A and B are shown apart, each in its own frame.
Chain A
């Protein structure tokens, strides 16, 4: 009898909860992050040792492929917007009333002066599509299981990173994304913090993108409002909408 009890105790955890696979963690993590659709207001702060600048953005996302951002403040930049459809990006400036498609050569450049690159936005689902995933570590933080997934690019994938790491909670909340170069050195780290219930969903309200090679430089994205699942029409993710959305 005690033997049976011991066996049950030993075996029970694996019965109770099947471990998610690495690929599943990444896919569900991204889905949780983006939701099917979302509307958000974000304060983006670009911090440098000698100056700091904040702007307020409004963003709409639909699935992993479509998103639209427009600047609400400061007034000087109001109405500047970015549309992403699949892996193409356009930018709009109201002062000159022009829309420009971001050329491939600029995709690695900074997005609106921040520590995010255009690629970080345009290829946000790249870590799922272009990489193979492996569970690297499991630990418990605040009573929640936290998985570290190592993502290695597929041989033919058009990516710039040597490897990525995702830290995902068991409830599929992504806490951190680390970007490594080909020498295995972490180049950029995106960290989520301040988990709060936003629109009925637990979500890291503050995201900080930090480059590791420089001190005291980062970009902070702070959600001031976030709604999941509104019905967003197709015409919201078009060039016309890009130029009109801020009016």
Chain B
């Protein structure tokens, strides 16, 4: 059963039910809002990572050492089949596909633009990436295609080409020879990422290897693990594995966060700026609660004087006060956690439509609805901070009791 102190604290709380309820609601509001906001943030980061990993990098990639610096044509994975054979033995790898990349002049009868040409394996991409899902007109590449092209929407518009039209490609092959071909547009894609839509053409890998004199080589072996969390540890282990192949050029394994450092940086930046915002929210709530607690102690100075005169120790008074704060704070945090989690859980299944902002978010490759992600961390982080700071705020007025002189205190109030 409750101790005497707890029972006294409980009764004290209900001396002014309205004030207690307001304080409790303020805490609940802060805690609940934080649960939702943090879950929403985590959800949107997850969406960013999932879509970028799905479309661009895969979870991990095998590349020649130094390839990422300026995508030099001759830094190839010379024998991609050997790499895939070795990786096929890894239970954590659920899918692989190969890509090659070149920069070229892309010309229609009217216009010429510089662009990036990606050679992709039509079957492999469908198994491993979301590329086939961003085709807006026409169709995705097929395994028996030869010189077909899936072209970015903005690039297609700039070149003034449509489905069935020809695009001339002129670039430089792996050995420095001239790479030239005529492509037929069979599909137009839109990723929402301006850079990609404006400059990229996907063609079948086999045709790419022909035109760019790749002699069977590729530039990237894309790996999927089927898990959101890609550990650096797995990266290091696979790195040692492909290094064991002793291929020239030297191969390295890179995780998606090494391949897209900008993505992780922008997430960290967003995290830092939103942490600031959340701290301000918590500070406001904490100060209003501090105010309440100060009032409580101030009002009861006379009462405390009497209790002290009757022989109650200061320590016991502090304990009672702290227990009062604990009950209110805990009640608020639990209520906030419950309501916040319920709202989050509900929106997690329906998603939150972003309206106009959704179009903006499409620029970053995000879906137009965001789904909050309720997890242990996202649920408990905010309430825990609110709890800690509120208790700290309660401590300050409680400690005033230590300086009370019984006689002086009884004269007050």
User: Do chains A and B interact in one complex?
Assistant: yes
Task: Give chain A's interface residues, CB within 8 Å of chain B.
Answer: 46, 48, 50-51, 53, 71, 74, 76-77, 80, 91, 93, 95-96, 98, 100-103, 105-106, 109, 112-113
| CA A102 to CA B107, docked complex, whole Å | 10
In the complex, how many angstroms separate the beta carbon of B210 from the nearest chain A beta carbon? 11
Which of B107, B172, B181, B213 is A100 in contact with, Cβ under 8 Å?
A: B107
Interface string of B162-175 (1 = CB under 8 A from A): 00000010101001
Given A50-B74, A93-B170, A100-B107: A77 and B114 interface contact (C-beta under 8 Å): no
| CA A91 to CA B170, docked complex, whole Å | 9
B176 touches A102 (CB 8 A): no
List residues of chain A with CB within 8 A of the CB of B181: 95-96
A113 touches B176 (CB 8 A): yes
Closest to A95 in B: B180
Given A98-B107, A100-B168: A53 and B114 interface contact (C-beta under 8 Å): no
List residues of chain B with CB within 8 A of the CB of A112: 172, 178
15 extra A-B contacts, CB within 8 A, seeds A77-B178, A98-B182: A46-B176, A51-B74, A51-B175, A53-B175, A93-B170, A95-B181, A96-B181, A96-B182, A98-B180, A100-B112, A100-B168, A102-B112, A106-B114, A109-B114, A112-B172
Interchain residue pairs A-B with the least CB separation, the first 7: A93-B180, A53-B176, A103-B112, A100-B107, A113-B176, A98-B168, A96-B180
B126 within 8 A of A: no
Which of B105, B111, B112, B177 is A74 in contact with, Cβ under 8 Å?
A: B177
A93 touches B112 (CB 8 A): no
Closest to A80 in B: B178
B364 within 8 A of A: no
In the complex, how many angstroms separate the beta carbon of B157 from the nearest chain A beta carbon? 16
In the complex, how many angstroms separate the beta carbon of B248 from the nearest chain A beta carbon? 9
Which of A77, A96, A98, A100 is B177 in contact with, Cβ under 8 Å?
A: A77
Closest to A48 in B: B74
| CA A53 to CA B173, docked complex, whole Å | 12
Interface majority SS (helix, strand, loop, mixed), chain B? strand
| CA A48 to CA B75, docked complex, whole Å | 13
| CA A33 to CA B113, docked complex, whole Å | 33
Which of B74, B175, B176, B178 is A93 in contact with, Cβ under 8 Å?
A: B178
Task: Give chain B's interface residues, CB within 8 Å of chain A.
Answer: 74, 105, 107, 111-114, 168, 170, 172, 175-178, 180-182, 213
Given A96-B182, A98-B107: A103 and B113 interface contact (C-beta under 8 Å): yes
| CA A103 to CA B114, docked complex, whole Å | 8
Closest to A74 in B: B177
| CA A71 to CA B180, docked complex, whole Å | 15
Closest to A93 in B: B180
| CA A80 to CA B179, docked complex, whole Å | 10
B180 touches A76 (CB 8 A): no
List residues of chain A with CB within 8 A of the CB of B74: 48, 50-51
| CA A77 to CA B179, docked complex, whole Å | 9
List residues of chain A with CB within 8 A of the CB of B213: 76
11 contacts between A and B (CB under 8 A): A50-B74, A53-B176, A76-B213, A93-B178, A95-B181, A96-B168, A96-B182, A98-B107, A98-B168, A103-B114, A112-B172
Closest to A54 in B: B176
| CA A215 to CA B168, docked complex, whole Å | 35
List residues of chain B with CB within 8 A of the CB of A76: 177-178, 213
In the complex, how many angstroms separate the beta carbon of B67 from the nearest chain A beta carbon? 13
List residues of chain B with CB within 8 A of the CB of A96: 168, 180-182
Closest to B73 in A: A113
Name the residue among B105, B111, B175, B182 with the largest chain A CB count within 10 angstroms.
B105
